[in-house]
Amino acid sequence: MDGEDECDHGASQLAEAYTNTQSCQTDILLMPRGQKRGRGLRAQSICPQLLEMVLHLQQTMEECFLQLMTRYRQQDLMLEEQRLNLQQRHSQVIYEQEALLIRLMSQLADILQSRSWSGLGLQLPPCSMDTGSNAGGGQGAHSPRHPDQIPPLLSEFKTAFVIHDLSSRGEDISDFYHSEFQAYNAYHGDKYHEDNNTLGFINLSTSENKLCIDLMTKRLSRSDMNYIEDALLQYCDWRGQPFLREEVARFLTYYCKAPVPLDPENVVALNGCCSVFSALATVLCDVGEVFLIPTPFYGGLAFSSRLYANIELFFVHLDSEITGENTRPFQLTVDKLEQGLHEARLKRKKVRGLVLINPQNPLGDIYSQDSLKEYLKFAERHKLHVIIDEIYMLSVFDKSTTFHSVLSMESLPDPNRTHVIWGTSKDFGISGFRFGTLYTRSKAVVTAMSAFGYLHSISGITQHKLCRLLQDRDWIDKVYLPTNWSRLREAHKYVTGKLKALKIPFLNRGSGFYIWINLKKYLDPCTFETELVLHHRFLDNKVMLSCGKSYMCKEPGWFRLVFADKPHRLKVAMHRFCEVLQEQKEELTVRLLEDAQKE
Amino acid sequence: MDGEDECDHGASQLAEAYTNTQSCQTDILLMPRGQKRGRGLRAQSICPQLLEMVLHLQQTMEECFLQLMTRYRQQDLMLEEQRLNLQQRHSQVIYEQEALLIRLMSQLADILQSRSWSGLGLQLPPCSMDTGSNAGGGQGAHSPRHPDQIPPLLSEFKTAFVIHDLSSRGEDISDFYHSEFQAYNAYHGDKYHEDNNTLGFINLSTSENKLCIDLMTKRLSRSDMNYIEDALLQYCDWRGQPFLREEVARFLTYYCKAPVPLDPENVVALNGCCSVFSALATVLCDVGEVFLIPTPFYGGLAFSSRLYANIELFFVHLDSEITGENTRPFQLTVDKLEQGLHEARLKRKKVRGLVLINPQNPLGDIYSQDSLKEYLKFAERHKLHVIIDEIYMLSVFDKSTTFHSVLSMESLPDPNRTHVIWGTSKDFGISGFRFGTLYTRSKAVVTAMSAFGYLHSISGITQHKLCRLLQDRDWIDKVYLPTNWSRLREAHKYVTGKLKALKIPFLNRGSGFYIWINLKKYLDPCTFETELVLHHRFLDNKVMLSCGKSYMCKEPGWFRLVFADKPHRLKVAMHRFCEVLQEQKEELTVRLLEDAQKE
């Protein structure tokens, strides 16, 4: 390859620029990361701009090499692990290939069924293959098409799915999206409706609260919502409209019980909490650097990290078992955080922060004030940012449980590195509004985050409605919250009643819209493969649940079941759920009998 | 550095995996990029998953090295350029440092003036420095604060602006944001108002159409806009609500004069055209790869490329001069594109696409059908994607000019690599709605783009309003467009009249909201430094214009003046504009006289 000379040439230039380098290229490239920009320079008179570039280059190279080394180490670890668990690994590989095949087949089926290919391939030459009359092809296509324009199905499929034209990351994202959202997209194309589509999907997978849409629709229909003024129709402050940030500050001060009024200048309002997380990950963490995160956790964070930010979430795996240290299942302790950090550093990861979700998703756990403080102190000790997602803070429906926001603390261990996320998607059941907000005392973070308003801003008219909503304490406190909590309690009671009848273990928590349930007894062997098979069985019976693997749970067999749906749908969904488990149980029994007969 | 061993170890593993590699590490790393995954493997029996990882690793390393080599070459080129233009460069470096200093001072001033620091630093210990009574400090702070909590100003400033806690990219973004949006943010904090704030900023910089807000407000106030249904309040299809995508397809079919109806399955709707561009750049281009783009061009694309996608825009510089080849100023020709591509490849850039804006921003040019076809054929020859931004397609107010959308073409040279962007921000003057849409025939691109709906989606209620708006052809054709065009013509006539009176050269085009004007005669010497000084003079006189450097214009002295503002504001703005130029002219005259006297 002819790039070699230039490469050496550049390296020798670099070598000259530093006093503490030796003649060997590797030494230059592997300069310690602690080395600050501009330090240790021999040629002080060098043009500052050029110097900056060289330093930037050096930093980039360091990063490249660190990344590479990290990957090598991962390879080594993988190899070792593989030697140990070859059998297990092998079956997983086969399984994953199967899953890929199923996905591709399903994509093909989608195309054939949706006939969405009708608008494609107009430029394709006529083909001799007689596939134009293929069932599901030209017939019934929605868009008009000249008979001589019907392209061959195979070519068309190729034209539609030639993905070598995407960037590598584009391909990765596309693939990841397919695997994560296939069921979700199927649901959106075929939703259950009690009158029109009784065979459609019921979604107990996506965490939405559908219990108070009536109240919300009524509130949003009041005349104060439909105000329009010039500023709402034009570009705004990228941090969000000042009136909205002021209202968010007031709202959080009140509901988070902040000891002093929160400052609107510390608020950034974007179109959803995952947008906030994506932007935060970008401004706090460079590519390949990591945030610690306890598992199981909300998978949307993994997706958000991957689309743009390209950071790594380093898992601190929690166990379901109750032991000396664990007084409750999946308990987060500082020891585990310390251990996680240690492991990450052993693997040469640069750890930049800790991500917490409180109330936790999918567990429903609420951190005590003391635990919370300990986690924050752990982060402070290690100079880690803490991103804390409190998006379910007002969805604590159990009267005996009290939620404590980090914003309620009299003093934060490291206020400039503590960043709180909240939004209206969950607590007000309006995920379609696309609103998420950041509260941070770090002006540097606010400034850097503001830039992302350019890509994540909310329509002005929606910002107005949100402001009105957050302002209406009377309605929130007297109408919305009491009704919402009472309905959540009812739905929770109904579903947990069913679970108890089936003797299915679950975490009985009083927050969020979901229950973390253990279906291990329906899986034999209990692996992530059989977990996925059961997941697909639910889908086949038109009920969606999320499996534990989507939450990076270490142990197979766990599922998250969303109960915050209207009684009539919940009833049908639970019926379908029970049907699948009954079927699964019968199969297991038959297999047991067969095995017994063989012996 | 202790990472060395692993690095070598990993490389030797790689070496074993390929048949066509030699023992030298460099050869492996610089393997030709054409090498397809999985080809040329010796160890076919190797575990596929591991193989995939190794191949991925190899690809990453190749990319890293290609990037590094590219940077080395840049350094070389820079060095050479520096030798040639050392004097010029030096003054620019000094200027840039000055600008940075001014920016930092201004940040400090902002903090002191806004008193926004009142919510900060509650955790700081009491300090012996007597700075608590500093003017602009504690006095008049908006948030309550205990007297003993007033922190020292310097510490507070440090606390607020310690930016070492951001990632490197976070720091870069923050800095870039400050430089790009400082005036914009000042404007949002101090807008001109004819009654309340006659000394406020008038913005002839941001490309907004403020001429038809009355019509739009009236239309948006009709009862059909305020519909609410469950689906609008919940998570939706990440590509955008089906009803909106259908309406967009119908709308574009009609207004772009598409030969056959466009397909809603080819539509992706996100929260703004820059979001569409950011996501497209990510799925079509890997980090460091490039899109060609003719200059001058809309700076928002550069900003969008930088926030997340981290791709490079490679400039094809156009000249103002009319020569044999150029029959009009800044004319784009295929020769220039070919030359640009050649230059990029000489610099070892991987060119993935071409970005065009039609009607052009900031020039106002409209590409003829023939030119457009030639550009597309150029892209097809070189297998480049074409991203074409047609966001001003309905803002062609000159009756003698006809706009041709690429979607109107009977056949596209490369339909799967042609991606059209449009939105309502400009043509309907509702930038605050945050709506941008992509039309592409590539299913692969649609799928990959869908994933980004997760971070760029629009609130459901806004999607409904947009759908209603696009649907109302009667209002659009009979009320909105004729009125809008007529008002644009009037405003354009008013401003061009003033420019003619001042004998300021400008491009007299009939599209967009802006005029590309040449203020060279007010600059002596005419450099980007004096251009910026003039820009600041306008700001000092509370009128905002954008300078040519923001559009990557090769020649200093050009400005973009937005004329689509209401008559009363436009009049004041033009008065302020003329004042500055008069002052500038007087200064130049005095200087000339002084110089003459010296001689």
Do B430 and A233 make contact, defined as CB atoms within 8 angstroms? Answer: yes
In a domain, A171, yes or no: no
Query: pLDDT digit string (tens) for A410-420?
Result: 999 999 999 99
pLDDT score, position B63: 52
Does the beta-carbon distance from A165 to B275 stay under 8 Å?
Answer: no
- Per CB-CB distance under 8 Å, the chain A contacts of B451 are 173-174, 176-177, 181, 303, 307
Percent of chain A with pLDDT over 70: 73
The stretch A492-521 carries a mean pLDDT of 97
CATH of the domain at B228: 3.40.640.10
Determine the distance in angstroms separating the CA of B115 from the nearest CA of chain A, rounded to an integer: 10
With CB atoms and an 8 Å threshold, state whether B238 touches A455: no
Longest dimension (CA), chain A: 87
Asked, for residue B350, whether it belongs to a domain, the answer is yes
pLDDT at A13 over 90: no
Give the Cα separation of B54 and B61 in Å (integer). 10
- Give a yes or no: residue B178 inside a domain: no
Shared domain for B393 and B534, answered yes or no, is: no
Return the bridge partners of B388, or none.
B356, B420
| Closest-CA residue of chain A to B213 | A230
Is A98's pLDDT higher than 60? no
B359: preceding bond cis by omega (within 30 degrees): yes
Which of the pair, A156 or B489, is modelled with greater confidence?
A: B489
Residue of A nearest to B125 (CA): A411
Cα(A181)–Cα(A540) distance, rounded to whole angstroms? 16
Tell me if residue B420 falls in helix, strand or coil.
Answer: strand
Nearest beta carbon to residue A119 from set B167, B262, B450: B262
* CA dist A431 → A209, A300, A562, B231 (Å): 9, 14, 15, 10
Tell me, yes or no, whether B399 and B286 share the same domain: yes
**Token digits for A53?**
């570039």
pLDDT at site A326: 79
- Distance CA(A60)–CA(B168), nearest Å, equals 10
- What pLDDT shows up at residue A349? 97
Asked whether residue B68 carries a pLDDT value surpassing 90, the answer given is: no
Distance CA A435, CA A271 (A): 4
Contacts B261 to A, Cβ<8 Å = 119, 143-144
CATH code assigned at B582 = 3.90.1150.10
8 A C-beta contact, residue B235 and residue A513: no
Which of A185, A190, A447 to mutate against chain B (most B CBs within 10 Å)?
Answer: A447
Number of domains in chain B: 4
Q: At what angle do helices A48-84 and B86-114 cross, to 10 degrees?
A: 80
Clarify whether residues A492 and A563 are in a common domain. Answer: yes
Chain pair A-B, CB pairs under 8 angstroms = 451
Query: Looking at the predicted structure, is the pLDDT value of residue B379 above 80?
Result: yes
Give the residue among A88, A288, A109, A266 at the shortest CA–CA distance from A189.
Answer: A109
The pLDDT, as a whole number, for residue B564 is 98
The closest CB to that of A286, out of B54, B167, B231, belongs to: B167
ipTM of the complex: 0.76
Cβ of A220 within 8 Å of Cβ of B230? The answer is: no
**Best interface-test mutation with B: which of A110, A267, A283, A408 has the largest number of B CBs within 10 A?**
A283
Nearest CA-CA distance, residue A397 and chain B, Å: 21
Is residue A123 pLDDT above 50, yes or no? no
A166/B454 touch (CB, cutoff 8 Å), yes or no? no
- CA dist B544 and B207 (Å) reads 11
Predicted confidence band of residue A202 (pLDDT cuts 50, 70, 90): very high
Q: What is the Cα–Cα distance from A578 to B185, expressed in whole angstroms?
A: 57
Stated pTM of the model = 0.76
Listed residue (B416, B479, B481, B440) closest to B249, CA to CA = B440
Instruction: Go through A410-443 and write b for each residue having 16 or more CB atoms within 10 A of its CB, e for each that does not.
Output: eebbbbbbbbbbbbbbbbbbbbbbbbbbbbbbbb
Contact A75 B69 (CB under 8 A): no
B521: tokens are: 């005669």
pLDDT greater than 90 at residue A114: no
Is B492 in the same domain as B515?
yes
Write out pLDDT tens, residues A50-63: 444 444 444 444 45
* Spatial CB neighbours of A186, under 8 Å, sequence gap ≥ 6: A201, A539
Considering only CB atoms, which chain A residues are within 8 Å of B167?
282-286, 289, 352
pLDDT at A190: 95
Helix, strand, coil tally for chain A in percent (to 5): 55, 10, 35
Tokens 């990950």 map to which residue?
A281
Cβ of B434 within 8 Å of Cβ of A457? The answer is yes
CA distance A500 to A589: 21
From chain B, the residues in CB contact with A230 under 8 A are 210, 213, 217
In sequence order, which residues have a C-beta less than 8 Å from that of residue B464 and are 6 or more positions away?
Answer: B225, B227, B232, B241, B243, B244
Q: B197 with B279, same domain?
A: no
Q: Contact A294/A329 with Cβ under 8 angstroms?
A: no
User: What integer pLDDT is reported at residue A376 of this predicted model?
Assistant: 98
Q: Which residues of A205-227 are buried (b: 16+ CB within 10 A; e: fewer)?
A: bbbbbbbbbebbeebbeeeebbe
pLDDT of residue B67 exceeding 60, the answer is no
Average pLDDT estimate for B378-383:
97
Owning domain of residue B438? 214-477
From chain A, pick out residues whose CB is under 8 angstroms from the CB of B9. 72, 76
Q: Which of B115, B235, B239, B270 to mutate to test the interface with A (most CBs of A within 10 A)?
A: B235
Q: Do A145 and B260 touch (CB under 8 A)?
A: yes
> Across the interface, do A235 and B206 touch by the CB < 8 Å criterion?
yes
Closest-CA residue of A relative to B203 is A235
Name the 3-class secondary structure at A205.
Answer: coil
What are the chain B neighbours of A441 within 8 Å (beta carbons)?
Answer: 119-121
Cα–Cα separations (whole angstroms), residue B277 to A47, B157, B270: 35, 36, 10
User: What per-residue string of b and e applies to A147-181 under the rule 16 or more CB within 10 Å gives b?
Assistant: eeebbbbeebbebbbebebbbebbbbbbbbbbebb
Is B169 inside a domain boundary?
no
The answer as to whether B188 is a domain residue is: no
Does A184 share its domain with A277?
no
For A435, name the nearest residue in chain B, comparing CA atoms only.
B459
Q: Has residue A168 been placed in a domain? A: no
CB distance B433–A161 less than 8 Å?
no
pLDDT for A179 equals 87
What 3-state class would DSSP assign to B5?
helix
Q: In this structure, are B146 and B293 located in the same domain? A: no
As a whole number, the mean pLDDT across chain B is 80
Q: In 10 A of CB A197, how many CB atoms? A: 12
% pLDDT > 90, chain B: 69
- If pLDDT is split at 50, 70 and 90, which confidence band does A392 have? very high
User: How many CB atoms lie under 10 A from the CB of residue A236?
Assistant: 23
pLDDT digits (tens, 9 = 90+) for B241-294: 999 999 999 999 999 999 999 999 999 999 999 999 999 999 999 998 999 999
Residue A63: predicted pLDDT: 52
Is B273 found in the same domain as B131? no
Decide if A98 is inside a domain. Answer: yes
What does the pLDDT read at residue A168?
94
pLDDT at A223 over 70: yes
Least Cα distance to A330 among A305, A297, A286 occurs for A297
Q: Which of A68, A180, A513, A566 to mutate to test the interface with B (most CBs of B within 10 A)?
A: A68
Task: Identify the domain boundary among B82, B116, B135.
Answer: B82
Which of A2, A443, A457, A480 should one mutate to test binding to chain B, selecting the residue with the greatest count of B CBs within 10 A?
A: A443
pLDDT class for B323, splitting at 50, 70, 90?
Answer: confident
Q: Collapse the DSSP code of A516 into the 3-class scheme (helix H, G, I; strand E, B; otherwise coil) and give the result.
A: strand
Are residue B378 and residue B450 in the same domain, yes or no?
yes
Q: Running DSSP on this structure, what letter comes out for residue B129?
A: S
Give residue-wise pLDDT tens across range B9-49.
333 333 333 323 333 333 322 233 333 333 333 333 334 44
CA distance B575 to chain A (A): 24
In A, which residues are within 8 Å of B97 by CB distance?
A: 48
The residue out of B82, B106, B125 marking a domain boundary is B82
Residues of chain B contacting A448 with CB distance shorter than 8 Å: 166, 170-171, 173-174, 177
State the alpha helices, DSSP H only, in B305-368.
Answer: 334-346
Confidence of residue B102 (pLDDT cuts 50, 70, 90): very low
Read off the tokens for B137.
């400090």
- The mean pLDDT value of chain A amounts to 80
Cβ pair B64:A66 closer than 8 A: no
Count Cβ atoms within 10 A of the Cβ of residue A579 and give its class: 0-12 exposed, 13-18 middle, 19 or more buried.
Answer: middle
Q: Tens digit of pLDDT for each residue in B474-494? A: 999 999 999 999 999 999 999
Confidence label for A45 from pLDDT (cuts 50, 70 and 90):
very low
Taking CA atoms, what residue in B is nearest to A276?
Answer: B455
Tens of pLDDT, residues B558-583: 999 999 999 999 999 999 999 999 99
Check CB contact under 8 Å for B120 and A454.
Answer: no
Half-sphere CA count of B307, side-chain side, radius 13 A:
26
Are both A185 and A228 inside the same structural domain?
no
Confidence check: pLDDT of B203 > 80: yes
Question: What's residue A400's pLDDT?
Answer: 95
Amino acid identity of residue A492, one-letter, is H
- Residue where the block lists tokens 């960043």: A419
Answer yes or no: do B3 and A168 touch at CB < 8 A: no
Q: What are the residues whose beta carbons fall under 8 Å from the beta carbon of B568, sequence distance 6 or more? A: B194
Does the distance separating the beta carbons of A123 and B411 come in below 8 Å? Answer: yes
Distances (CA, A) of A176 to A91, A320, B258: 21, 28, 34
Q: Would residue B179 count as lying in a domain? A: no
Pairing of strands B558-562, B514-518: antiparallel
A557 — phi, psi (to 5°)? Answer: 110, -10
Residue where a domain stops, chosen among A84, A109, A142? A84
Q: Decide if pLDDT at A95 tops 70.
A: no
Contact list in B for residue A220 (CB cut-off 8 A) is: 228, 461
Specify whether A460 is located in the same domain as A510.
no
- Cis peptide leading into residue A362 (ω within 30°): yes
CA angle A413, A415, A419 (to 5 degrees): 115
pLDDT for res A575: 98
Sheet (strand A312-317) strand order = A267-270, A436-440, A418-423, A385-389, A351-357, A290-295, A312-317
Q: Do residues B167 and B127 make contact, with C-beta atoms less than 8 angstroms apart?
A: no
CB contact under 8 A, A458 and B271: yes
Type of residue at A301: L
Q: Determine whether the interchain pair B459/A459 forms a contact, defined as Cβ–Cβ distance below 8 Å.
A: yes
Residue scoring higher pLDDT (B424 or B26): B424
Query: For B108-162, what is each residue's pLDDT tens digit?
Result: 444 433 333 333 332 323 322 222 233 232 233 333 333 333 333 334 444 444 4
Nearest Cα neighbor of B429 from B225, B211, B269, B252 is: B211
For the record, the structure tokens of A214 come out as 């009536």
Is the separation of the CB atoms in A262 and A406 below 8 Å?
no
Asked if B378 and B417 count as a contact pair (C-beta separation under 8 A), the reply is: no
Residues of chain A positioned with their CB less than 8 A from the CB of B271: 271, 434, 455-459
The alpha carbon of residue A286 and the mean position of all alpha carbons in its chain are separated, in whole angstroms, by: 18
A234 and A367 together in one domain:
yes
Residues of B in contact with A252 (CB under 8 A): none
CB contact under 8 A, A167 and B352: yes
CA A92 from centroid of its chain's CA atoms: 23
pLDDT value of residue B129: 29
Confidence of residue B74 (pLDDT cuts 50, 70, 90): low
A452 to B185: CB separation less than 8 angstroms, yes or no? no
First to last CA, chain B: 64
Q: Given phi > 0 = left and psi -120 to 50 = alpha, else beta, which region is B300?
A: alpha
